[in-house]
Structure 1
């Protein structure tokens, strides 16, 4: 599945101000002028990258890393896929930007490509600039369609950093940003740290659904516009829903006339070994939000896949929303090339096989071998190792320990994605078995270093 790009040519470029720069220049300019997200600025020293191909990136001194973060879990087709790069170049030479009121061929083809993999009864796409404003507009559509206000989402979730999306988010980032109104949170299923005293996946699903139903009833069903869920919560811990949960949420939404929005921003386009994570459970939502994997972030883009029922509500009624860059031509061209390449090259099927045959078994073996691993869980190339200081109490490792884990993995040439007490194992969908084995060996070594801290 690996596509090869010559390292020398990919780190080169034009001379002068547009050239690759001397080693150290990127970091110097970054620390002088760039304000980073979700960070205290003073102590930052980011890694500096100059090029990439497939599952590998390299810095400006030529050190190579296996990218098992997929950057922000979006590099599904891998770095510098030649078909996607060429499509962007060709579109830029032909017509790089068209305002949203007009029609343009790449935009229409992008919507068509996405909808080939959507559920039946969903035939329209509203394009956004990314995942956050995809969720923002999905919430707006649900409110306008139902005439209701409240949105129910889970505490263990992340939906973006815009006004309503960040308040729909459940984690700590919501709290300093709670300016939007009409948001209610519930606990979703998470058997390893169950809020419901469950002992089996079936109990966890049933009790989480009962909790959700009681919150809907207590809030007033006639006031709830939407239930917004990540199909598989990502940043919150790769929390694969137990059997029956999503179908139960769909049934509750139908019972109370509530719209179901599935956030597939992180889980979609091959990440779980399916085109959409909802495919694993055959649940049809009213709205699907996407971004990231649709074009691996080569050009910023996101969107909302809209059910025919909701789309029809705006046939004779103005939808009061829009973005200057909605359906941006470069982004649209990159989507067409990415989806077609994934179809032609069997990328989604490859991700499913890697997860089932190599990555999943390897991570479960690490969990059995290392007392510092409380649980391994995931699908496709979407996995997490939850690290604990005590297997009995399931006490999470401290931030200091996790900082050591990150540094040791980087030192071994693996670029990790860490969140709280977890290693999120999220390589590109095109990762090879040999690359997985190389990363597993690095995880094995680093987990061995922290096992002694486990009580």
Structure 2
């Protein structure tokens, strides 16, 4: 079978039998990917692309990192699966590695299959810990596609899925499109916190179990909160006896140039959810890092939750290998260096050349270009234009992550300065072509 035949066969099987997420099935035509290495992927015919999407912003360590692949193979030779009720060395090592990265006072990890059920179980823990029911989360957010997680999500995807009860939403800070008529980061922070206080009071503080926030909202726009915002949320949670859950599913494990995004805000939550970057998605896994006071209530009380594949040996082995490789190879430091010295400055220079870019924001390898039809009015560009840009970048050899009127520039944490330079040339050419 020729390379072209393999691509054709892949498409044929996909169209005949695979049901895709978030899609009208007849209107999509997924392209085949046969392999990858580092920051690049390719099809069967050998056409290659720079992956500046990190797929779904999860391949933090890059494609096919040999240490992680080797650890999965080694574990597969020993034991491919075991029930979560047993003790498993790779599971224990993975939990140890994760808790050593977490703030002091976090000793336990509950493993899940991904980020959605991590948030689902964090919500369950908060409700059981407080004896309350309600969960507050931001309108500009995405927390996953399971029962409570999708209703905690703020965007349109919750509308046809609002079956879970006990959820309310509020606006977080977003100075570029402020809901609070703010003109400075300080005003935005102060007014957003006042708004949250009023929502807590209006919903009834004694009914609220948790505030669930992405440390940096990802899919919603990579909106780094202004200084003091998360600390202010922490104070409100303490004042009203509410559990603070920080969702680090997308922002965690190197994406921001830190192990956890909240480290840049000097805040310690009560529960931390994770997935994606903890092992770059090589094996499905996620989890909740549990503060000691919350974990302690289940010492003599049954935790009413569980998953067949919780702490799966192959996933656990991949976590250990990922964290070890990221530490020994300085991958988190590389993400910080690339963001501060290479990618951030390059994106700002790109904005100077292209008026369609209304704002550049982000840190590490976690950036958004907000595209506008007019910089003065900040009117968003039409979705068709974003689609045309994504298609043009694909033809030029770059996989882009787009959402609404934005391009998210989110390469692996292993990206090099030369790869960033090559990508910037492609972005520049695509923006020039759509003028």
TM-score range (shorter-chain normalised) is over 0.9
1:340 aligns with 2:307: no
Matching of residues 138-149 of structure 1 within 5 Å: 138-149=122-133
Aligned equivalents of 2:318 and 2:41: distance in 1? 20
TM-score normalized by the length of structure 2: 0.99
Say which SS state the counterpart of residue 288 (structure 1) adopts.
strand
Aligned equivalent of 1:304, options 254, 267, 288:
288
Instruction: Specify the alignment match of 1:7 in structure 2.
Output: none
Aligned equivalent of 1:87, options 56, 62, 71:
71
- 1:222-256 deviations in Å (ceiling 9; x for gaps): 00000000000000000000011000000000000
The 8 Å contact of residues 153 and 184 in structure 1, kept in 2 or not, is answered as yes
1:329 aligns with 2:316: no
Aligned equivalents of 1:313 and 1:72: distance in 2? 35
- 1:316-338 deviations in Å (ceiling 9; x for gaps): 00000000000000000000000
Matching of residues 163-242 of structure 1 within 5 Å: 163-242=147-226
Task: Structure 2 unaligned segments of length 5 or more: list them.
Answer: none
Instruction: Specify the alignment match of 1:26 in structure 2.
Output: 10
The 8 Å contact of residues 142 and 259 in structure 1, kept in 2 or not, is answered as yes
Instruction: Specify the alignment match of 1:76 in structure 2.
Output: 60
Aligned equivalent of 1:269, options 239, 253, 267:
253
Instruction: Specify the alignment match of 2:28 in structure 1.
Output: 44
TM-score normalized by the length of structure 1: 0.94
Q: Which moved more, 1:386-395 or 1:330-339?
A: 386-395
- 1:41-73 deviations in Å (ceiling 9; x for gaps): 002111210000000000111001000000000
4+ residue stretches of structure 1 with deviation over 4 A?
none
1:22, distance to aligned residue in structure 2 (A): 2.2
Task: Structure 1 unaligned segments of length 5 or more: list them.
Answer: 1-14
The 8 Å contact of residues 135 and 211 in structure 2, kept in 1 or not, is answered as yes
Aligned equivalents of 1:393 and 1:48: distance in 2? 40
Aligned equivalent of 1:423, options 400, 403, 407:
407
The 8 Å contact of residues 7 and 32 in structure 2, kept in 1 or not, is answered as no
Say which SS state the counterpart of residue 22 (structure 1) adopts.
helix
Instruction: Specify the alignment match of 1:12 in structure 2.
Output: none
The 8 Å contact of residues 187 and 208 in structure 1, kept in 2 or not, is answered as yes
Instruction: Specify the alignment match of 1:119 in structure 2.
Output: 103
Aligned positions, number:
434
The 8 Å contact of residues 367 and 409 in structure 2, kept in 1 or not, is answered as yes
The 8 Å contact of residues 24 and 60 in structure 1, kept in 2 or not, is answered as no
Aligned equivalents of 1:22 and 1:214: distance in 2? 58
What is the RMSD of the two structures over their aligned residues, measured on CA atoms? 1.2
Q: Which moved more, 1:97-106 or 1:389-398?
A: 389-398
1:20, distance to aligned residue in structure 2 (A): 12
Aligned equivalents of 1:342 and 1:20: distance in 2? 36
Aligned equivalents of 2:135 and 2:434: distance in 1? 41
The 8 Å contact of residues 74 and 293 in structure 1, kept in 2 or not, is answered as yes
Aligned equivalent of 1:135, options 89, 113, 119:
119
- 1:357-376 deviations in Å (ceiling 9; x for gaps): 00000001111221100000
